[in-house]
Amino acid sequence: MKNLLVSGIILLAFVTTTQAQISVSINIGSQPSWGPTGYDHVDYYYIPDIQCYYYVPAHQFIYQNRGHWTFATELPARYQGFDLYHSHKVVMNEPQPYLHFDEHRTKYAQYKGNPENQVFIRDSHDDRYREHWHDQHEADEEWRHHDNGNHNGERRN
């Protein structure tokens, strides 16, 4: 009986661990439309043009503000008008990459001002991206085209 109980606990631990690893390994649906294609999992993007990071799971930009790292859902006013679709992104799957900012700034300086023809999720025809992002985008675009201006930007059901 004791062996059966121990075997059951070990099996449960293995199944739980396996499920956790699977759920963490793919986050295509969480990646922003301006992210580059080709990655099933992304934790962070480093954006050399504005020397900041984007944390995919929390949908937050991470940038320096008066010598401290700031986490925000939008870029600061100094980057107003910055086009995320025409800038290079470096995928980083390491914890807290901003702690290595000086290294990244030097290592990826050649990408500053050079998007290198990255294909962005928004423009991809790959089914794995279309499934997660394009359907929502197309629904939103269809709604915008049918809005006659009387809804003040609010969706009516």
Residue 16 resides in a domain: no
- Say which range, 8-12, 42-46, 52-56, 113-117, has the weakest mean pLDDT: 8-12
Model confidence at 18: pLDDT above 80: no
Average pLDDT (127-136) is 60
Residue 45 resides in a domain: yes
| pTM of the model as a whole | 0.67
| Domain region containing 58 | 34-143
**Sequence-distant (≥ 6) Cβ neighbours of residue 155 within 8 angstroms:** 143
pLDDT of the residue at 39: 87
pLDDT of the residue at 58: 95
Residue 39 resides in a domain: yes
Residue 98 resides in a domain: yes
Confidence of residue 48 (pLDDT cuts 50, 70, 90): very high
pLDDT of the residue at 90: 96
Q: What percent of the chain stands above pLDDT 70? A: 63
Residue 56 resides in a domain: yes
Confidence of residue 138 (pLDDT cuts 50, 70, 90): low
Are the C-beta atoms of 39 and 12 separated by less than 8 Å? no
- Say which range, 3-17, 28-42, 133-147, has the weakest mean pLDDT: 133-147
Residue 153 resides in a domain: no
Confidence of residue 49 (pLDDT cuts 50, 70, 90): very high
Number of domains in the chain: 1
Residue 5 resides in a domain: no
Which class for 19: exposed (0-12), middle (13-18), buried (19 or more C-beta within 10 A)? exposed
pLDDT of the residue at 25: 57
Residue 6 resides in a domain: no
Compute the distance between CA of residue 104 and CA of residue 106 in angstroms, rounded to an integer: 5
